[in-house]
Protein backbone atom coordinates (compact mmCIF):
# COMPACT_ATOMS: atom_id res chain seq x y z
CA UNK A 1 0.00 0.00 0.00
CA UNK A 2 1.20 3.47 -0.90
CA UNK A 3 0.66 6.45 1.41
CA UNK A 4 0.56 10.07 0.29
CA UNK A 5 1.91 12.46 2.88
CA UNK A 6 0.50 15.96 2.43
CA UNK A 7 2.53 18.98 3.41
CA UNK A 8 1.59 19.43 7.08
CA UNK A 9 2.38 21.43 10.15
CA UNK A 10 2.54 19.29 13.31
CA UNK A 11 0.49 20.24 16.38
CA UNK A 12 2.30 22.55 18.79
CA UNK A 13 2.07 19.86 21.47
CA UNK A 14 1.50 16.11 21.15
CA UNK A 15 1.92 13.01 23.23
CA UNK A 16 2.75 9.53 21.86
CA UNK A 17 3.19 6.20 23.61
CA UNK A 18 5.61 3.82 21.91
CA UNK A 19 5.82 0.13 22.86
CA UNK A 20 8.87 -1.72 24.17
CA UNK A 21 12.25 -1.89 22.48
CA UNK A 22 12.39 -4.55 19.78
CA UNK A 23 15.99 -5.37 20.75
CA UNK A 24 15.28 -5.72 24.46
CA UNK A 25 12.05 -7.66 23.77
CA UNK A 26 13.72 -10.18 21.47
CA UNK A 27 16.43 -10.86 24.07
CA UNK A 28 13.97 -11.13 26.93
CA UNK A 29 11.60 -13.41 25.00
CA UNK A 30 14.48 -15.81 24.42
CA UNK A 31 15.56 -15.60 28.08
CA UNK A 32 11.96 -16.22 29.13
CA UNK A 33 11.95 -19.40 27.03
CA UNK A 34 15.10 -20.51 28.88
CA UNK A 35 13.92 -19.24 32.29
CA UNK A 36 10.11 -19.36 32.53
CA UNK A 37 10.23 -17.59 35.92
CA UNK A 38 10.60 -14.30 34.03
CA UNK A 39 7.50 -12.16 33.33
CA UNK A 40 7.59 -9.27 30.91
CA UNK A 41 5.77 -5.93 30.63
CA UNK A 42 5.66 -3.48 27.70
CA UNK A 43 6.91 -6.07 25.19
CA UNK A 44 7.31 -4.70 21.65
CA UNK A 45 4.27 -5.07 19.37
CA UNK A 46 6.58 -5.20 16.33
CA UNK A 47 6.27 -7.94 13.70
CA UNK A 48 9.81 -9.00 14.58
CA UNK A 49 9.00 -9.56 18.26
CA UNK A 50 5.73 -11.33 17.43
CA UNK A 51 7.65 -13.61 15.08
CA UNK A 52 10.23 -14.22 17.79
CA UNK A 53 7.56 -15.16 20.36
CA UNK A 54 5.77 -17.38 17.83
CA UNK A 55 9.00 -19.15 16.87
CA UNK A 56 9.91 -19.80 20.50
CA UNK A 57 6.46 -21.29 21.14
CA UNK A 58 6.50 -23.41 17.97
CA UNK A 59 7.15 -27.15 17.94
CA UNK A 60 7.14 -27.34 14.12
CA UNK A 61 10.22 -28.46 12.23
CA UNK A 62 10.13 -25.44 9.89
CA UNK A 63 10.32 -21.90 11.27
CA UNK A 64 10.08 -18.86 8.97
CA UNK A 65 11.32 -15.67 10.57
CA UNK A 66 10.65 -13.40 7.53
CA UNK A 67 12.76 -10.20 7.73
CA UNK A 68 13.64 -10.39 11.45
CA UNK A 69 17.46 -10.35 11.65
CA UNK A 70 17.89 -10.42 15.43
CA UNK A 71 15.30 -13.20 15.69
CA UNK A 72 17.17 -15.20 13.00
CA UNK A 73 20.49 -14.88 14.80
CA UNK A 74 19.16 -15.39 18.33
CA UNK A 75 17.05 -18.43 17.35
CA UNK A 76 20.02 -20.05 15.62
CA UNK A 77 21.81 -20.15 18.98
CA UNK A 78 18.65 -21.12 20.88
CA UNK A 79 17.80 -24.03 18.57
CA UNK A 80 21.41 -25.25 18.65
CA UNK A 81 20.96 -26.18 22.34
CA UNK A 82 17.46 -27.76 22.08
CA UNK A 83 18.69 -31.30 22.59
CA UNK A 84 17.29 -33.86 20.11
CA UNK A 85 15.19 -31.45 18.05
CA UNK A 86 15.80 -30.75 14.33
CA UNK A 87 14.48 -27.52 12.80
CA UNK A 88 14.93 -25.72 9.51
CA UNK A 89 15.18 -22.01 10.24
CA UNK A 90 14.45 -19.82 7.23
CA UNK A 91 13.42 -16.28 6.36
CA UNK A 92 12.55 -13.87 3.54
CA UNK A 93 14.58 -13.64 0.33
CA UNK A 94 16.53 -10.78 1.88
CA UNK A 95 17.22 -12.88 5.00
CA UNK A 96 18.80 -15.47 2.71
CA UNK A 97 21.28 -12.74 1.67
CA UNK A 98 22.14 -11.64 5.23
CA UNK A 99 25.34 -13.43 6.34
CA UNK A 100 25.29 -15.76 9.34
CA UNK A 101 28.50 -17.75 8.86
CA UNK A 102 30.40 -16.10 11.74
CA UNK A 103 27.72 -17.20 14.22
CA UNK A 104 27.25 -20.66 12.71
CA UNK A 105 31.00 -21.34 12.75
CA UNK A 106 31.28 -20.19 16.37
CA UNK A 107 28.40 -22.47 17.38
CA UNK A 108 29.96 -25.35 15.44
CA UNK A 109 33.28 -24.71 17.23
CA UNK A 110 31.33 -25.14 20.47
CA UNK A 111 30.04 -28.49 19.14
CA UNK A 112 26.72 -27.53 17.47
CA UNK A 113 25.19 -29.43 14.56
CA UNK A 114 24.17 -26.86 11.92
CA UNK A 115 24.21 -27.06 8.10
CA UNK A 116 23.33 -24.68 5.27
CA UNK A 117 20.25 -25.73 3.27
CA UNK A 118 20.95 -23.48 0.25
CA UNK A 119 24.02 -21.20 0.12
CA UNK A 120 27.11 -21.62 2.26
CA UNK A 121 27.13 -18.96 5.00
CA UNK A 122 23.47 -17.93 4.65
CA UNK A 123 20.00 -19.02 5.85
CA UNK A 124 18.09 -21.31 5.63
CA UNK A 125 19.82 -23.43 8.28
CA UNK A 126 19.15 -26.98 9.39
CA UNK A 127 19.81 -27.12 13.12
CA UNK A 128 19.86 -30.28 15.23
CA UNK A 129 19.97 -29.30 18.89
CA UNK A 130 22.42 -30.90 21.29
CA UNK A 131 24.18 -30.31 24.57
CA UNK A 132 27.22 -28.09 23.97
CA UNK A 133 30.08 -28.90 26.32
CA UNK A 134 32.86 -26.63 25.09
CA UNK A 135 33.32 -23.26 26.70
CA UNK A 136 35.79 -21.19 24.67
CA UNK A 137 35.30 -19.70 21.23
CA UNK A 138 36.67 -16.79 19.15
CA UNK A 139 34.71 -14.88 16.55
CA UNK A 140 35.01 -11.86 14.28
CA UNK A 141 33.31 -8.88 15.96
CA UNK A 142 33.26 -6.26 13.20
CA UNK A 143 30.37 -7.57 11.08
CA UNK A 144 27.36 -7.77 13.41
CA UNK A 145 27.04 -7.65 17.21
CA UNK A 146 23.96 -9.86 16.87
CA UNK A 147 26.20 -12.93 16.52
CA UNK A 148 27.82 -12.09 19.85
CA UNK A 149 24.52 -11.37 21.62
CA UNK A 150 23.12 -14.66 20.28
CA UNK A 151 25.95 -16.61 21.93
CA UNK A 152 25.69 -14.63 25.16
CA UNK A 153 21.95 -15.29 25.44
CA UNK A 154 22.44 -19.07 25.57
CA UNK A 155 25.76 -18.93 27.47
CA UNK A 156 24.36 -19.38 30.99
CA UNK A 157 22.69 -22.63 29.85
CA UNK A 158 25.98 -24.16 28.68
CA UNK A 159 27.47 -26.63 31.14
CA UNK A 160 30.60 -24.55 31.71
CA UNK A 161 29.37 -21.12 30.68
CA UNK A 162 31.15 -19.26 27.89
CA UNK A 163 34.41 -17.45 27.22
CA UNK A 164 34.28 -15.37 24.04
CA UNK A 165 37.29 -13.77 22.37
CA UNK A 166 36.26 -10.96 20.04
CA UNK A 167 38.50 -10.42 17.01
CA UNK A 168 38.84 -7.06 15.24
CA UNK A 169 37.07 -3.80 16.01
CA UNK A 170 33.88 -4.47 17.92
CA UNK A 171 30.80 -3.05 16.19
CA UNK A 172 27.48 -1.96 17.77
CA UNK A 173 28.91 -2.31 21.30
CA UNK A 174 25.83 -0.93 23.18
CA UNK A 175 23.81 -3.90 21.91
CA UNK A 176 26.34 -6.29 23.48
CA UNK A 177 26.21 -4.34 26.74
CA UNK A 178 22.40 -4.44 26.60
CA UNK A 179 22.55 -8.25 26.41
CA UNK A 180 24.93 -8.46 29.37
CA UNK A 181 22.86 -6.02 31.38
CA UNK A 182 19.64 -8.02 30.82
CA UNK A 183 21.52 -11.20 31.81
CA UNK A 184 22.61 -9.40 34.97
CA UNK A 185 18.98 -8.47 35.74
CA UNK A 186 18.05 -12.15 35.87
CA UNK A 187 21.10 -13.03 37.95
CA UNK A 188 23.54 -14.29 35.28
CA UNK A 189 27.09 -13.14 36.01
CA UNK A 190 29.41 -11.93 33.26
CA UNK A 191 32.53 -9.87 32.60
CA UNK A 192 33.46 -7.79 29.54
CA UNK A 193 37.06 -6.57 29.47
CA UNK A 194 38.89 -5.50 26.32
CA UNK A 195 38.09 -8.23 23.77
CA UNK A 196 37.05 -10.96 26.22
CA UNK A 197 33.57 -11.73 27.49
CA UNK A 198 32.87 -14.43 30.05
CA UNK A 199 29.47 -15.69 31.20
CA UNK A 200 29.02 -18.00 34.18
CA UNK A 201 26.70 -21.01 33.93
CA UNK A 202 23.44 -20.76 35.87
CA UNK A 203 23.28 -23.74 38.14
CA UNK A 204 20.32 -22.97 40.37
CA UNK A 205 16.82 -21.83 39.37
CA UNK A 206 16.33 -18.09 39.12
CA UNK A 207 13.88 -16.17 41.34
CA UNK A 208 10.54 -15.16 39.73
CA UNK A 209 11.04 -11.69 38.29
CA UNK A 210 9.05 -9.12 36.29
CA UNK A 211 11.01 -6.98 33.84
CA UNK A 212 9.50 -3.89 32.22
CA UNK A 213 10.89 -3.22 28.76
CA UNK A 214 11.80 0.40 28.09
CA UNK A 215 10.14 1.83 24.97
CA UNK A 216 11.98 1.72 21.66
CA UNK A 217 14.55 4.49 21.07
CA UNK A 218 15.00 3.71 17.36
CA UNK A 219 11.26 4.36 16.96
CA UNK A 220 11.66 7.58 18.97
CA UNK A 221 14.20 8.81 16.40
CA UNK A 222 11.46 9.77 13.90
CA UNK A 223 9.96 12.16 16.47
CA UNK A 224 13.35 13.74 17.15
CA UNK A 225 13.52 14.32 13.41
CA UNK A 226 10.04 15.87 13.24
CA UNK A 227 10.78 18.23 16.15
CA UNK A 228 14.12 19.20 14.56
CA UNK A 229 12.32 20.22 11.34
CA UNK A 230 9.47 22.03 13.17
CA UNK A 231 8.98 25.64 14.17
CA UNK A 232 10.50 26.77 17.50
CA UNK A 233 8.30 25.85 20.45
CA UNK A 234 6.92 22.62 18.89
CA UNK A 235 7.07 19.80 21.42
CA UNK A 236 6.32 16.07 21.52
CA UNK A 237 6.11 14.00 24.68
CA UNK A 238 7.13 10.35 24.31
CA UNK A 239 6.41 7.52 26.76
CA UNK A 240 7.95 5.40 28.35
CA UNK A 241 11.60 6.45 28.40
CA UNK A 242 14.35 6.95 30.92
CA UNK A 243 17.56 8.92 30.83
CA UNK A 244 19.66 5.94 31.85
CA UNK A 245 18.82 3.61 28.94
CA UNK A 246 20.23 0.24 27.88
CA UNK A 247 19.67 1.24 24.24
CA UNK A 248 22.57 2.86 22.38
CA UNK A 249 20.11 4.87 20.27
CA UNK A 250 19.47 6.98 23.39
CA UNK A 251 22.43 8.93 22.03
CA UNK A 252 19.69 10.71 20.03
CA UNK A 253 19.39 13.18 22.92
CA UNK A 254 22.94 14.28 22.40
CA UNK A 255 22.85 14.10 18.59
CA UNK A 256 19.66 16.12 18.14
CA UNK A 257 20.95 18.92 20.37
CA UNK A 258 23.00 19.78 17.29
CA UNK A 259 19.70 20.22 15.38
CA UNK A 260 18.18 22.45 18.07
CA UNK A 261 16.14 19.82 19.94
CA UNK A 262 16.11 19.90 23.76
CA UNK A 263 15.06 16.78 25.66
CA UNK A 264 13.65 16.85 29.18
CA UNK A 265 12.86 13.73 31.18
CA UNK A 266 9.73 13.98 33.31
CA UNK A 267 8.58 10.87 35.22
CA UNK A 268 8.58 8.02 32.72
CA UNK A 269 8.39 10.22 29.64
CA UNK A 270 10.60 12.60 27.72
CA UNK A 271 9.64 15.88 26.13
CA UNK A 272 11.36 16.93 22.91
CA UNK A 273 11.18 20.65 22.16
CA UNK A 274 12.52 22.68 19.29
CA UNK A 275 14.51 25.43 20.99
CA UNK A 276 17.51 26.37 18.85
CA UNK A 277 18.86 26.72 15.32
CA UNK A 278 20.68 23.70 13.85
CA UNK A 279 24.42 23.61 13.21
CA UNK A 280 25.47 24.23 9.60
CA UNK A 281 27.39 20.93 9.26
CA UNK A 282 27.00 17.69 11.20
CA UNK A 283 29.74 15.06 11.52
CA UNK A 284 29.24 11.85 13.50
CA UNK A 285 30.47 8.28 13.85
CA UNK A 286 27.45 5.96 14.14
CA UNK A 287 29.36 2.70 14.73
CA UNK A 288 27.46 2.25 18.00
CA UNK A 289 24.02 3.38 16.74
CA UNK A 290 23.62 2.21 13.12
CA UNK A 291 19.79 2.12 13.13
CA UNK A 292 19.43 5.90 13.37
CA UNK A 293 21.62 6.69 10.35
CA UNK A 294 18.66 7.01 7.97
CA UNK A 295 16.74 9.27 10.36
CA UNK A 296 19.73 11.60 10.78
CA UNK A 297 20.55 11.80 7.07
CA UNK A 298 16.94 12.77 6.26
CA UNK A 299 16.82 15.31 9.12
CA UNK A 300 19.95 16.99 7.74
CA UNK A 301 18.48 17.04 4.24
CA UNK A 302 15.25 18.61 5.52
CA UNK A 303 17.23 21.23 7.45
CA UNK A 304 19.36 22.03 4.40
CA UNK A 305 22.61 21.20 6.20
CA UNK A 306 25.47 18.96 5.12
CA UNK A 307 26.39 15.84 7.06
CA UNK A 308 29.30 13.44 7.19
CA UNK A 309 28.28 10.11 8.75
CA UNK A 310 30.84 7.36 9.35
CA UNK A 311 30.87 3.94 11.04
CA UNK A 312 28.16 2.70 8.67
CA UNK A 313 29.72 -0.58 7.44
CA UNK A 314 26.87 -2.69 8.90
CA UNK A 315 24.23 -0.81 6.88
CA UNK A 316 25.00 -2.82 3.75
CA UNK A 317 23.75 -6.08 5.31
CA UNK A 318 20.57 -4.85 6.97
CA UNK A 319 16.99 -5.05 5.61
CA UNK A 320 18.39 -3.57 2.40
CA UNK A 321 21.71 -1.96 1.51
CA UNK A 322 20.77 1.20 3.41
CA UNK A 323 23.65 3.27 2.03
CA UNK A 324 22.57 2.71 -1.57
CA UNK A 325 18.88 3.10 -0.67
CA UNK A 326 19.52 6.43 1.11
CA UNK A 327 21.57 7.82 -1.77
CA UNK A 328 18.99 6.77 -4.38
CA UNK A 329 15.96 8.14 -2.55
CA UNK A 330 17.57 11.37 -1.27
CA UNK A 331 18.81 12.13 -4.77
CA UNK A 332 15.28 11.70 -6.18
CA UNK A 333 14.35 14.58 -3.86
CA UNK A 334 17.17 16.76 -5.18
CA UNK A 335 20.02 15.95 -2.76
CA UNK A 336 23.61 15.20 -3.66
CA UNK A 337 24.97 12.23 -1.69
CA UNK A 338 28.37 10.50 -1.80
CA UNK A 339 28.70 7.05 -0.28
CA UNK A 340 31.47 4.55 0.39
CA UNK A 341 30.89 1.10 1.88
CA UNK A 342 31.01 2.65 5.38
CA UNK A 343 30.15 6.33 5.16
CA UNK A 344 27.70 8.84 3.74
CA UNK A 345 28.27 12.49 2.86
CA UNK A 346 25.23 14.66 2.20
CA UNK A 347 25.92 18.02 0.56
CA UNK A 348 23.96 21.03 1.82
CA UNK A 349 20.96 21.85 -0.37
CA UNK A 350 17.97 24.12 0.06
CA UNK A 351 15.45 22.88 -2.50
CA UNK A 352 13.35 19.73 -1.91
CA UNK A 353 11.45 18.35 -4.91
CA UNK A 354 7.74 17.88 -4.41
CA UNK A 355 5.56 14.85 -5.27
CA UNK A 356 8.43 12.34 -5.23
CA UNK A 357 7.60 8.68 -4.59
CA UNK A 358 10.00 7.09 -2.08
CA UNK A 359 10.82 3.40 -2.56
CA UNK A 360 11.26 1.50 0.73
CA UNK A 361 13.01 -1.76 -0.29
CA UNK A 362 11.28 -3.89 2.40
CA UNK A 363 12.96 -1.64 4.95
CA UNK A 364 10.75 -0.17 7.68
CA UNK A 365 13.37 2.47 8.47
CA UNK A 366 13.33 3.82 4.90
CA UNK A 367 9.57 4.50 5.22
CA UNK A 368 9.80 6.04 8.68
CA UNK A 369 12.97 8.08 8.13
CA UNK A 370 11.49 9.85 5.10
CA UNK A 371 8.07 10.54 6.69
CA UNK A 372 9.18 13.75 8.52
CA UNK A 373 9.76 15.37 5.12
CA UNK A 374 5.97 15.89 5.07
CA UNK A 375 6.70 19.02 7.11
CA UNK A 376 8.46 20.41 4.04
CA UNK A 377 6.71 18.97 0.99
CA UNK A 378 4.18 16.47 -0.35
CA UNK A 379 5.63 13.00 -0.94
CA UNK A 380 4.59 9.38 -1.39
CA UNK A 381 5.86 6.39 0.56
CA UNK A 382 5.71 3.10 -1.35
CA UNK A 383 4.79 -0.14 0.42
CA UNK A 384 4.14 1.95 3.53
CA UNK A 385 3.00 -0.92 5.77
CA UNK A 386 6.60 -2.13 5.84
CA UNK A 387 6.77 -0.07 9.07
CA UNK A 388 5.15 -2.97 10.98
CA UNK A 389 8.53 -4.71 11.17
CA UNK A 390 9.33 -2.51 14.16
CA UNK A 391 6.47 0.02 14.57
CA UNK A 392 3.00 -1.17 13.45
CA UNK A 393 1.13 1.99 14.59
CA UNK A 394 3.59 4.43 13.03
CA UNK A 395 1.14 5.98 10.52
CA UNK A 396 -1.60 6.34 13.17
CA UNK A 397 0.90 8.14 15.39
CA UNK A 398 1.85 10.44 12.48
CA UNK A 399 -1.83 11.38 12.18
CA UNK A 400 -1.99 12.01 15.94
CA UNK A 401 0.82 14.55 15.49
CA UNK A 402 -1.20 16.37 12.83
CA UNK A 403 0.55 14.97 9.73
CA UNK A 404 -2.07 14.68 6.96
CA UNK A 405 -1.94 11.50 4.93
CA UNK A 406 -4.02 9.54 2.44
CA UNK A 407 -3.87 5.75 2.41
O1 LIG B 1 21.21 -6.75 18.80
C2 LIG B 1 20.31 -6.02 18.34
O3 LIG B 1 19.18 -5.98 18.86
C4 LIG B 1 20.61 -5.21 17.16
C5 LIG B 1 21.91 -4.96 16.77
C6 LIG B 1 22.28 -4.09 15.63
O7 LIG B 1 22.77 -4.91 14.60
P8 LIG B 1 24.34 -5.03 14.20
O9 LIG B 1 25.10 -5.46 15.38
O10 LIG B 1 24.30 -6.06 13.12
O11 LIG B 1 24.77 -3.68 13.71
C12 LIG B 1 21.07 -3.28 15.13
O13 LIG B 1 21.34 -2.74 13.87
C14 LIG B 1 19.82 -4.13 15.05
O15 LIG B 1 18.72 -3.40 14.59
C16 LIG B 1 19.45 -4.65 16.43
C1 LIG C 1 18.60 -3.87 11.39
C2 LIG C 1 17.42 -3.99 11.99
O3 LIG C 1 16.85 -5.15 12.39
P4 LIG C 1 17.30 -6.68 12.21
O5 LIG C 1 18.77 -6.74 11.97
O6 LIG C 1 16.90 -7.31 13.50
O7 LIG C 1 16.52 -7.24 11.06
C8 LIG C 1 16.62 -2.77 12.28
O9 LIG C 1 15.59 -2.89 12.96
O10 LIG C 1 16.98 -1.66 11.83
At 224-255, the pLDDT tens digits run: 999 999 999 999 999 999 999 999 999 999 99
To the question of pTM greater than 0.95 for the whole model, the response is yes
d(CA 371, CA 190): 41
Q: What is the pLDDT of residue 205?
A: 80
Phi, then psi, of 127 in degrees rounded to 5: -120, 120
**Which residues in the chain are classed under CATH 3.65.10.10?**
3-18+215-406, 22-212
CATH of domain 3-18+215-406: 3.65.10.10
Q: What is the pLDDT of residue 203?
A: 78
CA of 218, closest atom in ligand 1: 15
Mutate to test the pocket of ligand 1, among 27, 51, 75, 144 (most ligand atoms within 8 A of CB): 144
Is the separation of the CB atoms in 300 and 279 below 8 Å?
A: no
Ligand 1 pocket check for 321: Cβ under 6 Å: no
Tell me what the mean pLDDT of segment 294-303 comes to. Answer: 98
pLDDT in tens, 92-135: 999 999 999 999 999 999 999 999 999 999 999 999 999 999 99
Catalytic residues: 291
Ligand 2 pocket check for 318: Cβ under 6 Å: yes
Ligand 2 pocket check for 73: Cβ under 6 Å: no
Question: What are the binding residues for phosphoenolpyruvate?
Answer: 22, 69, 98, 146, 322, 365, 389
d(CA 234, CA 226): 9
d(CA 140, CA 114): 19
pLDDT in tens, 4-24: 999 999 999 999 999 999 999
Domain covering 22-212: architecture: Alpha-beta prism (3.65)
**Ligand 1: distance of its center to the CA of 314 in Å?**
9
Q: What is the pLDDT of residue 350?
A: 83
Q: DSSP string covering 337-362, please? A: EEE-SS-EEE-------SSEEEP-TT
pLDDT in tens, 141-180: 999 999 999 999 999 999 999 999 999 999 999 999 999 9
Q: Please state, rounded to an integer, the average pLDDT across all residues of the chain.
A: 97
Tell me what the mean pLDDT of segment 263-275 comes to. Answer: 97
ipTM exceeding the 0.90 mark: yes
Check pLDDT > 90 for residue 204: no
Where does 186-286 show beta strands of DSSP type E?
190-193, 196-199, 209-212, 235-239, 261-266, 269-274, 281-285
Ligand 1 pocket check for 146: Cβ under 6 Å: yes
Amino acid sequence: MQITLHKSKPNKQSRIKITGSKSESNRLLLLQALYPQISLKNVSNSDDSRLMAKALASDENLIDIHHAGTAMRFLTAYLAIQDGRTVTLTGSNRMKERPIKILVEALKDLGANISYEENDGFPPLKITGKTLKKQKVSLQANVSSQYISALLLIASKLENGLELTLEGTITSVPYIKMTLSLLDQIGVKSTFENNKITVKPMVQNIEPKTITVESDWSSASYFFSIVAISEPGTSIELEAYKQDSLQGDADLVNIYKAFGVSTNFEGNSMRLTKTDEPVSHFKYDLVHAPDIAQTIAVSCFALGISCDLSGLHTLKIKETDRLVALKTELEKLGAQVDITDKSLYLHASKAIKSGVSIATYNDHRMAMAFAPLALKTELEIEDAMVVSKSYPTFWDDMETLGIKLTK
